[in-house]
């Protein structure tokens, strides 16, 4: 009786199993790679409905972050400003620019401008800008050189491990209160030493327990 | 090292010789009860699949795998929608607080409401308001859920078909004219009690335009008998006000003044302050309660006399004669003489009161007693009660309706078709009026039968003003624009009468500013909005003299009627039926029975034996040819031959939550039997009905969990609370946490103050986004309340005493849950909190199995599935909404701790002040029984309380070192009666 399987079947099976194992391994490795916040989150730079340039406003014109993100010292959110804030200047400056059409429309109709969120944390994370600004964490520490960005891009992974790096060792990221919004702060002595002194004098002890951020 | 055996399953009596039990099943030691004790999750609770089959699960899993693959590529794009123009005071993400007021059947509570991004989420009491004093009731706590109820009526209905306010305005302009209605002789208006000056001004304007129109106030649960009692005693219409704080001795006759008979919270606060004791040398007030139904007031009593409501008049008479105010009494009330002597020893500092279910003659006699005891002007005072011009009684309306004299009937915020006395045939005659107009929050029984149904604005959407019984006026300000185009009763009356102001804001603002000097008006208006009450309002307190001859002449000797009586009472969950569609209230266990999602015919064990029924048997109750069915629930302590049934259940035209929940007993309640009916016929209907009571859920072994003593015993044994169990010297294998500096949180709960009112449960539910699970799931032991109030009986099965004990996570120092979590999802914080990281939890439930206090709750299902958009608005954004498969429990309101901590840091890193952080349960507790704070600070309130000799912790012998401790309860019985 002729056998159902030829002699080479064994080889095919072996190759097949090996290929499947390698493929599965590669898929898992790829999954881990893609799931890494460093890979998945950084570099996110969505297009905004209005071509607003932070480079122009915060960089070239030198506007302070808090002119627009005015709630950063009082609330958890460094809120996106109301259209009104844009119009404070833009009723006089570039009042008829086609790029500002949506801004003028929003101001006239009361409809919000649908900005796209760039820095997004999971819902179970209760990040608070007020607490960080009060401690002296510079905007640039988490958001990067926004003053050089035409389109805002996420530069840090905003992952829990990344948060904890600083919570466990805050000194390198702490600066004097009046330098928090300074994107290009270059102290004349060691910034870590300055940070360490502030941490000590203010008694900064960032929480590293769960409920510090998860409630 | 020898092991000390500390677990002993046989209940140990306290030194004081008492044994505590939760239910008759526990007392009898039935296998059912043992199962609740021994299993953390009852059989069946662990079946993850409830309604969905395995097939659906596989489908869902396949779908979620597919979705998971997709979303992993790129996170969903989120939008940020800032305002176009800024709003004053509004900072995104920061809550704002506004003062307003809530009316429940004429009882007004001043509130401060927290709004997140324009949506009210949490209600607190207004500390400046005399009826709130900073606390608020379970009803007020839950009212925010009703605001977002998707079943509220959303459109104007004309003959049941969608219409519009414009169409109604055209109709009204055409109909409410002198040419059509004449002087208004066919126009009747029936309204729920709403004590509001500006609303009354609009009403009087309407009644001025139609002088023959009649105004009827209708509340199924009302204080009318009390007002009529005052009328009898003083020949004047007066409201009676009590000051429980000044009363050192209180005698309550069928008056559940801590519960549903005064739906505000002032009574509880004042009473509990009178009970507050720090050391054994302090004095405390004494409470005598004579009642038929075992109420929470009865549970607080030092002496409780079980007397049928229909014999209460005789009991009051016996007391009056013992005080020498009436001829000698022959009734069998052996305590009357001793109580009278006690009262006589507390002249001017005692208080006798009767419940609103008692007839006017009883109230008149009680006034006579209080006057004789010198209590007038001290614990009892009066204010004038005004009548509306052209006010008629509901009985007159019913007669006019039956005879066809009512052409146009306007119903404002009331549901008389459901709740009217059964003898008036109101529902049947309702359609005899040619035009019926109903304004209500829902298209209920009345709304669906009316020609026009108009959606009403919820109080959190309304401008208005409200007056408490003592005359203080609060401005009601809206927290949100009407979600469903509702209008207020004042706006409707303004529309019907062509009042000068049409918008609620103009009505109330112009009413008040017209009364103030023009240059001060703006300032005073803003002040009133900010404070939540208007300066200088408050009625004059009157101290009239009782017309003794009239009172005694009206008194009829009442022979003790035989047979069984039926007592009606307002449900602490749904009130008169208006909260039927509120899932938070429906699921809150009734304080005494712990029944959820139902009412029942409450009877005593002896009566149950006599009738041959047991809990869950349906009985047919008949009275004067009317009948209704209700399931029996045996409540120890209930008076024999007395059945108590809560009103408000069995709604038929209601939203999806409350429809056909419980049994409707309004068909048995007539105008003459509003409080109770005597001589009812009860027989088993031969059916069973499933009642779900949470009383045995989360039961712990019968160790002395609650501890109490009499004042005398306490004086003899000052440290009795600490010696209820033998605690061997305990050592822990785990390293000690060090708390040398900073904060260490702790809580103390005073059992002497807790009255079991449920406000804390509802406050916790609102603050912490706790889901509703429904009756079927409660039966499986899946209720999610982080805070439960255990009710224990003690003593005789027929006439027990009761104690309440709120239990939430104890935040143990050596928490057994932490050691068994395989994924480190529950851990200890540096400040001693036992934390729960939801996003780490994988749902093994080991922690829950290891918790001796049974305070952990598991999300067996996704309780938030299928929520409508409006229902999501009620969530507190500071607390995670938990998903299926995750364990949760009380966090000591960690979000509130962190909020204050961040605030303190921003304010120059100042230390947190004692009392700055209030947990939700503590903030609302009308009895001030819960104190939270930093136990590291020896001067903090909580640290001082924990030093008191009544302080003890539950299950100390387990050495888990809970951070929540209890203060033992003290009873203050009259030595003469012991």
Domains and CATH numbers, chain B: 20-38+696-723+743-971 (3.30.70.20), 224-383 (3.40.228.10), 561-693 (2.40.40.20)
Closest to B651 (Cα-Cα) out of B641, B640, B660, B639 = B660
Per-residue tokens: B212: 């023959």
The predicted pLDDT at position B73 comes to 53
Each domain of chain A, given as residue ranges in start order, spans 9-40, 54-80+117-212, 81-114
Nearest-CA distance B139 → chain A (Å) = 27
* A77:B79 CB<8 A: no
Closest to B431 (Cα-Cα) out of B395, B393, B396, B401 = B401
The predicted pLDDT at position A38 comes to 73
Q: How many beta carbons lie within 10 A of that of residue B288, not counting itself?
A: 24
Q: How many beta carbons lie within 10 A of that of residue B29, not counting itself?
A: 11
The C-alpha atoms of residue A94 and residue B633 are separated, in whole angstroms, by 77
Beta bridge mates, B801:
B794
Tell me the whole-structure pTM to 2 decimals. Answer: 0.92
Per-residue tokens: B282: 């302090």
Which of A111, A116, A215 has the CB atom closest to B880's CB atom? A215
The C-alpha atoms of residue B259 and residue B572 are separated, in whole angstroms, by 7
Which of B79, B93, B898 has the CB atom closest to A117's CB atom? B79
Nearest-CA distance B69 → chain A (Å) = 10
Closest to B367 (Cα-Cα) out of B357, B348, B355, B354 = B354
Which residue bears the tokens 């004053």? B88
Residues of B in contact with A126 (CB under 8 A): 878, 895, 898
Give tens-digit pLDDT for B598-634: 999 999 999 999 999 999 999 999 999 999 999 999 9
Q: Return the CA Rg of chain A.
A: 25
The C-alpha atoms of residue B121 and residue B873 are separated, in whole angstroms, by 8
Would you call B303 helix, strand, or coil by DSSP?
A: strand
Per-residue tokens: B325: 């105010």
Residues of A in contact with B92 (CB under 8 A): 71, 75, 77, 79
Nearest-CA distance A131 → chain B (Å) = 6
The predicted pLDDT at position B441 comes to 95
The C-alpha atoms of residue B847 and residue B841 are separated, in whole angstroms, by 10
ipTM of the complex: 0.87
Per-residue tokens: B811: 């935040």
The predicted pLDDT at position B208 comes to 93
Closest to B124 (Cα-Cα) out of B132, B112, B140, B110 = B112
Nearest-CA distance A1 → chain B (Å) = 44
Interfacial B residues in 73-112 facing A (CB < 8 Å): 73, 75, 77-86, 91-94
Q: Which helix (H) or strand (E) holds B287?
A: strand B286-291
Beta bridge mates, B912:
none
* B118 CB within 8 Å of a chain A CB: no
What's the N-to-C CA distance of chain B in angstroms?
47
Give tens-digit pLDDT for A36-79: 777 777 888 899 999 999 999 999 999 999 999 999 999 999 98
* Total residue count of chain B as it appears in this document: 978
CB pairs under 8 A between A and B: 123
Among B905, B907, B912, B920, most A C-beta atoms within 10 A, so best to mutate, is: B905
Residues of A in contact with B905 (CB under 8 A): 131, 134-135
The predicted pLDDT at position B56 comes to 57
Residues of A in contact with B880 (CB under 8 A): 123-124, 214-215
What's the N-to-C CA distance of chain A in angstroms?
72
Consecutive 10-residue averages of pLDDT for chain B (978 residues): 40 59 84 78 57 56 53 72 89 93 94 95 95 94 95 94 95 92 92 95 94 94 93 93 94 95 91 93 94 96 95 94 87 91 94 95 95 95 87 93 94 95 93 94 94 96 94 94 94 94 95 94 94 89 92 84 91 94 96 95 95 95 94 95 95 92 95 92 94 88 84 92 82 79 92 95 96 93 94 91 95 93 94 93 94 94 89 94 94 95 88 93 96 94 95 91 95 91
Residue of B nearest to A107 (CA): B84
Closest to B787 (Cα-Cα) out of B759, B810, B763, B807 = B807
Beta bridge mates, B455:
B440
Give Cα B848 to chain centroid, integer Å.
29
Residue of B nearest to A81 (CA): B82
The answer to whether the beta carbons of residues B190 and B417 sit under 8 Å apart is: no
Confidence check: pLDDT of A84 > 50? yes
Among B69, B72, B81, B83, most A C-beta atoms within 10 A, so best to mutate, is: B83
Which of A35, A77, A82 has the CB atom closest to B83's CB atom? A82
In degrees rounded to 5, what are phi and psi of residue B879?
-130, 135
Which residue bears the tokens 């136990």? B935
DSSP 8-state symbol, B668: G
What contacts 24+ positions apart, CB below 8 Å, involve B901-905?
A: B902/A128, B902/A130, B902/A131, B902/A134, B905/A131, B905/A134, B905/A135
Beta bridge mates, B858:
B887
The answer to whether the beta carbons of residues A150 and A55 sit under 8 Å apart is: yes
The answer to whether the beta carbons of residues B382 and B542 sit under 8 Å apart is: yes
The C-alpha atoms of residue B165 and residue A191 are separated, in whole angstroms, by 67
Beta bridge mates, B966:
B749, B952
The C-alpha atoms of residue B82 and residue B77 are separated, in whole angstroms, by 16
The predicted pLDDT at position B557 comes to 78
The C-alpha atoms of residue B329 and residue B341 are separated, in whole angstroms, by 16
* A110:B77 CB<8 A: no
Give tens-digit pLDDT for A93-137: 998 899 999 999 999 999 999 999 999 998 899 999 999 999 999
Closest to B306 (Cα-Cα) out of B641, B553, B59, B598 = B641
The C-alpha atoms of residue B545 and residue B238 are separated, in whole angstroms, by 12
The C-alpha atoms of residue B590 and residue B802 are separated, in whole angstroms, by 14
DSSP class per residue in chain A: ---SS-TTHHHHHHHHHHHHHHHHHHHHHHHHHHHSHHHHTTT--PPPSS---HIIIIIIS---HHHHSGGGGTSSS-PPPPHHHHHHHHTTTTTT-GGGHHHHHHHHH-PPP-EEP-S---TT----HHHHHHHTB-HHHHH--GGG-SS----S---HHHHHHHHHS-GGGB--GGGTT-TT---SS-HHHHHHHHHHHHT-----SGGGT--
């Amino acid at each position: 009786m002729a056998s159902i399987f030829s002699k080479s079947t064994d080889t095919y099976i072996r190759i097949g199993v090996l290929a499947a194992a390698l493929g599965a391994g590669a898929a898992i490795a790829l999954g881990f790679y893609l799931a890494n916040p460093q890979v998945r989150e950084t570099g996110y730079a969505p297009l905004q409905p209005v071509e607003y340039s932070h480079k122009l406003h915060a960089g070239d014109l030198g506007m302070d972050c808090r002119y627009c993100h005015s709630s950063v010292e009082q609330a958890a959110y460094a809120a996106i400003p109301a259209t009104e804030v844009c119009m404070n200047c833009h009723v006089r400056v570039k009042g008829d620019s086609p790029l500002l059409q949506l801004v003028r429309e929003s101001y006239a109709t009361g409809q919000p401008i649908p900005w796209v969120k760039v820095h997004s944390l999971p819902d179970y994370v209760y990040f608070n800008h007020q607490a960080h600004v009060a401690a002296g964490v510079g905007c640039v520490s988490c958001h990067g050189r926004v003053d050089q960005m035409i389109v805002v891009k996420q530069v840090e992974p905003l992952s829990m491990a990344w948060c904890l790096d600083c919570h466990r060792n805050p000194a390198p990221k702490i600066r004097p209160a009046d330098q928090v919004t300074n994107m290009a702060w270059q102290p004349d002595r060691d910034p870590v030493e300055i940070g360490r002194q502030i941490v000590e004098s203010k008694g900064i002890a960032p929480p590293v327990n769960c409920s510090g951020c998860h409630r | 090292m020898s092991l000390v055996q500390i677990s002993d399953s046989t209940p140990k009596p306290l030194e004081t010789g008492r044994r505590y039990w939760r239910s008759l099943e526990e007392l009898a030691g039935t296998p059912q009860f043992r199962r609740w004790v021994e299993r953390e999750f009852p059989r069946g609770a662990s079946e993850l699949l409830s309604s969905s089959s395995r097939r659906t699960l596989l489908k869902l899993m396949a779908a979620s795998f597919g979705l998971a693959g997709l979303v992993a590529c790129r996170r969903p794009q989120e939008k940020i929608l800032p305002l176009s123009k800024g709003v004053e005071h509004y900072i995104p993400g920061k809550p704002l607080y506004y003062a307003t007021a809530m009316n429940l059947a004429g009882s007004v509570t001043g509130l401060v409401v927290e709004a997140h991004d324009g949506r009210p989420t949490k209600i607190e009491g207004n500390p400046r308001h005399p009826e709130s004093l900073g606390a608020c009731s379970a009803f007020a706590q839950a009212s925010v859920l009703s605001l977002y109820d998707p079943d509220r009526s959303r459109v104007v209905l004309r003959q049941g078909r969608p219409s519009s306010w414009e169409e109604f305005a055209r109709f009204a302009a055409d109909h409410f004219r002198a040419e059509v209605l004449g002087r208004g002789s066919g126009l009747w208006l029936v309204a729920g009690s709403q004590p509001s000056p500006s609303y009354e001004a609009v009403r009087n304007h309407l009644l001025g335009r139609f002088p023959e129109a009649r105004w009827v106030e209708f509340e199924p649960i009302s204080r009318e008998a009390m007002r009529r009692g005052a009328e009898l005693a003083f020949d004047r219409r007066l409201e009676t006000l009590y000051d429980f704080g000044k009363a050192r001795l209180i005698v309550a006759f069928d008056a559940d003044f801590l519960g549903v008979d005064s739906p505000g919270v002032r009574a509880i606060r004042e009473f509990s302050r009178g009970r507050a004791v720090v050391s054994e040398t302090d004095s405390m007030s004494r409470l005598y309660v004579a009642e038929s139904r075992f109420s929470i007031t009865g549970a607080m009593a030092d002496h409780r006399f079980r007397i049928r409501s229909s014999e209460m008049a005789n009991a009051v008479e016996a007391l009056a004669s013992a005080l020498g105010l009436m001829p000698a009494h022959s009734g069998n009330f052996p305590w009357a003489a001793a109580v009278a002597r006690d009262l006589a020893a507390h002249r001017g500092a005692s208080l006798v009161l009767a419940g609103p279910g008692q007839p006017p003659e009883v109230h008149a006699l009680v006034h006579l007693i209080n006057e004789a005891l010198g209590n007038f002007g001290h614990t009892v005072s009066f204010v004038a009660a005004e009548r509306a011009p052209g006010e008629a009684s509901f009985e007159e309306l019913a007669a006019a309706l039956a005879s066809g004299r009512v052409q146009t009937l306007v119903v404002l915020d009331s549901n008389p078709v459901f709740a009217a006395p059964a003898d008036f045939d109101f529902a049947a005659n309702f359609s005899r009026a040619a035009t019926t107009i109903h304004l209500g929050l829902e298209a209920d029984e009345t709304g669906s039968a009316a020609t026009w149904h108009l959606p009403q604005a919820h109080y959190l959407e309304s401008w208005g003003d409200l007056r408490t019984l003592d005359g203080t006026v609060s401005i009601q300000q809206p927290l949100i624009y009407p979600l469903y185009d509702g209008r207020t009763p004042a706006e409707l009356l303004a529309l019907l009468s062509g009042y000068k102001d049409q918008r609620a804001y103009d009505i109330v603002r112009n009413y008040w500013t017209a009364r103030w000097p023009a240059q001060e008006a703006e300032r005073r208006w803003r002040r009133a909005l900010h404070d939540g009450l208007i300066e200088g309002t408050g009625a004059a307190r009157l101290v009239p003299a009782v017309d003794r001859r009239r009172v005694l002449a009206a008194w009829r000797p009442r022979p003790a009627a035989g047979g069984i009586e039926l007592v009606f009472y307002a449900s602490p969950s749904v009130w008169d039926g208006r909260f039927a569609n509120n899932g938070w209230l429906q699921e809150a266990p009734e304080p005494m029975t712990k029944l959820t999602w139902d009412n029942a015919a409450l009877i005593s064990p002896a009566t149950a034996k006599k009738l041959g029924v047991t809990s869950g048997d349906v009985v047919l109750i008949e009275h004067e040819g009317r009948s209704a069915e209700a399931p029996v629930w045996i409540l120890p302590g209930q008076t024999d031959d007395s059945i108590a049934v809560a009103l408000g259940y069995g709604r038929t035209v209601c939203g999806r939550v409350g429809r056909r929940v419980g049994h409707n007993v309004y068909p048995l309640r007539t105008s003459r039997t509003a409080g109770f009916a005597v001589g009812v016929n009860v027989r088993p209907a031969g059916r069973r009905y499933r009642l779900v009571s949470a009383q045995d859920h989360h039961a712990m072994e019968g160790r002395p969990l609650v501890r109490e003593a009499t004042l005398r015993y306490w004086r003899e044994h000052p440290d009795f609370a600490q010696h209820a169990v033998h605690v061997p010297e305990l050592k822990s294998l785990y390293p000690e946490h060090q708390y040398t500096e900073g904060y260490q949180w702790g809580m103390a709960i005073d059992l002497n103050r807790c009255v079991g009112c449920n406000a804390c449960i509802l406050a916790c539910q609102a603050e912490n986004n706790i889901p509703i699970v429904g009756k079927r799931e409660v039966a499986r032991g899946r209720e999610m309340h982080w805070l439960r109030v255990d009710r224990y009986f003690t003593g005789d099965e027929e006439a027990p005493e009761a104690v309440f004990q709120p239990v939430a996570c104890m935040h143990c120092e050596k928490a057994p849950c932490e050691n068994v979590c395989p994924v480190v999802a529950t851990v200890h914080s540096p400040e001693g909190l036992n934390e729960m990281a939801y996003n780490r939890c994988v749902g093994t439930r080991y922690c829950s199995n290891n918790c001796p206090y049974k305070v952990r709750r598991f999300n067996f299902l996704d309780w938030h599935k299928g929520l409508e958009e409006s229902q999501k608005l009620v969530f507190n954004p500071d607390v995670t909404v938990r998903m299926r498969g995750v364990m949760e429990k009380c966090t000591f309101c960690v979000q509130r701790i962190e909020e204050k901590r961040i605030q303190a840091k921003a304010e120059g890193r100042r230390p947190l002040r004692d009392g700055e952080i209030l947990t939700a349960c503590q903030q609302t507790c009308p009895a001030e029984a819960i104190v939270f704070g930093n136990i590291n600070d020896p001067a903090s309130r909580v640290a001082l309380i924990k030093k008191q000799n009544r302080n003890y912790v539950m299950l100390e012998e387990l050495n888990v070192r809970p951070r929540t401790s209890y203060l033992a309860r003290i009873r203050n019985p009259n030595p003469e009666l012991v």
